[in-house]
Amino acid sequence: MNAFLRFNPEYDLSSQPGVSPLFGVPVSVKDNICIQGKETTCASKILKGHVPPYDATVIERLKSKGATIFGQCNMDEFAFGSSSETSAFGPVRNPWDLDRVPGGSSGGSAAAVSADMTLAALGSDTGGSIRQPAAFCGVVGLKPTYGRVSRFGLIAFGSSFDQIGPITKTVEDAAILMNILAGHDSKDSTSAPMPVPDYTKALRRDVRGLRIGLPEEYFIEGIDPEVEKNVRAAAEILKRLGAEVKSVKLPHTAYSVAVYYIVAVAEASSNLGRFDGVEYGLRIPEKPLREMYFETRDQGFGREAKRRILLGTFVLSSGYYEAYYLKGQKVRTLIRDDFNKAFKEVDVILTPTAPTAAFKIGEKLNDPLAMYLSDIFTIPVNLAGIPAISIPCGFTSSGLPVGLQLMAKPFDEETLFRTAYAFEQETEFYKKNPKLDGEK
């Protein structure tokens, strides 16, 4: 399945605090989260041999609660992708159908949880990279509010979008992990100085009186009818449980993907400038300095990373900055305003996580636009900085999982947990596991 890049064989339980909530619990992490003394590469050749001298704050927090950092999960190179095929270490496969992608970019994390290879995993989400693989692999994935979880030690992609979050089998496990991950961190100036509630207290089966909105713009042409059927059925179930379901409008949705691929690539090109053969990982030696930079970056980065560096550098270049980047930021504000307005009328917005179930390996790899469009329902959430969760809501006729996305107001993860838990306990899709016979 190629879900893991490295395991942590010498883990010593005796060094762990004896009585702690996660004592010995195997948690795996996406390979863009720094672990002290362990190679961390973002599944890229350019970070080969890069061993961080410190732990990311999330790793520190997990360790302090006794968790075993079990393995490092495969991913799209630098988290650029929706299929986990752009990894320099080969594609990850979907445990429900080994010829299909697990989604991305946290595909290794989602596949590993789905196949019970680890109890929980961390992913990162810039435009959907926790939620879309969770949907494709039939597990739970939460993208917290921007600022809810520290990004210290997360190798940056789009610094104004990135959030770390849990990928788990159940909503309760996600809540338990969020109790540990969330909270202010003085090492991350964008982390919010806000108290962290006990998320497990939000796990009630009751959604009576909850107002749920279905955005018209998310039920559009191009969405797989089987996905739409399952998601609409999910809305009906929540209605039966006492929620009020109505239609809402998010009029600027159509611009989301375009805006994201301007602003996020601009941030990415700037963040990736530091990988030049001097401080981190790969260095192509015995060359004059300029050629060393060129050769290292040419040999170190894969195709998608190069595409994004070029696009990002272009949209930031003088003369184009106003036309693209600045305009993109303005439209981003309109998209955020859409959500602010919608959340005056409803508490939760319900959508599909992705327009289709898992696609075939190779199907979209050479068609970047088709690949980018698979994030059409997850990207607006990152543009607005709001939290969203993907939970299993059924299966296609060929047995592939379908994901339901729930979105809420900034810092209202509790309402997501409450809604997701009520739905999960009613439907029990999480009890179905992929049958794994004959690894590929």
| Nearest residue (CB) to ligand GLN, 128 versus 144 | 128
Please tell me whether residue 82 binds ligand GLN under the rule CB under 6 A: yes
360-399 mask for ligand GLN (x: CB under 6 A)?
Answer: ---------------x------------------------
| Residue of 128, 215, 277, 352 interacting with ligand GLN (CB under 6 A) | 128
> Phi then psi for 159, rounded to 5 degrees?
-60, -25
| Nearest residue (CB) to ligand GLN, 82 versus 150 | 82
Q: How far is the CB of 68 from ligand GLN (least distance, A)?
A: 26
- If residue 182 lies in a helix (H) or strand (E), which one and from where to where? none
Residue with tokens 């496990």: 173
108, 137 Cβ separation under 8 angstroms: no
82, 75 Cβ separation under 8 angstroms: no
401, 390 Cβ separation under 8 angstroms: no
Pull the structure tokens for residue 111. 């596949």
Cα–Cα distance between 324 and 400 in angstroms, integer? 38
| Nearest residue (CB) to ligand GLN, 175 versus 264 | 264
For residue 128, which amino acid is it?
G
Strands 211-215 and 348-352: parallel
Closest by Cα among 360, 374, 368, 258 to 315: 258
Active site residue 317: no
| Residue of 81, 165, 215, 300 interacting with ligand GLN (CB under 6 A) | 81
| Residue of 4, 70, 157, 199 interacting with ligand GLN (CB under 6 A) | 157
| Nearest residue (CB) to ligand GLN, 80 versus 146 | 80
100-119 mask for ligand GLN (x: CB under 6 A)?
Answer: -----x--------------
Pull the structure tokens for residue 364. 């979209």
Q: How far is CA 259 from the centre of its chain?
A: 18
Active site residue 129: yes
Which residue in the list 28, 30, 83, 84 is annotated as catalytic? Answer: 30
| Residue of 4, 70, 80, 136 interacting with ligand GLN (CB under 6 A) | 80
| Residue of 3, 58, 59, 79 interacting with ligand GLN (CB under 6 A) | 79
> Phi then psi for 298, rounded to 5 degrees?
-65, -45
251-270 mask for ligand GLN (x: CB under 6 A)?
Answer: -------------x------
Instruction: Return the half-sphere exposure (C-beta side, CA atoms, 13 A cut-off) of residue 421.
Output: 21
Cα–Cα distance between 72 and 173 in angstroms, integer? 19
Please tell me whether residue 2 binds ligand GLN under the rule CB under 6 A: no
| Nearest residue (CB) to ligand GLN, 128 versus 183 | 128
Looking at the annotation, which residues are catalytic?
30, 105, 129
Residues lying near ligand GLN in the complex (CB under 6 A): 79-82, 105, 125-129, 157, 264, 375
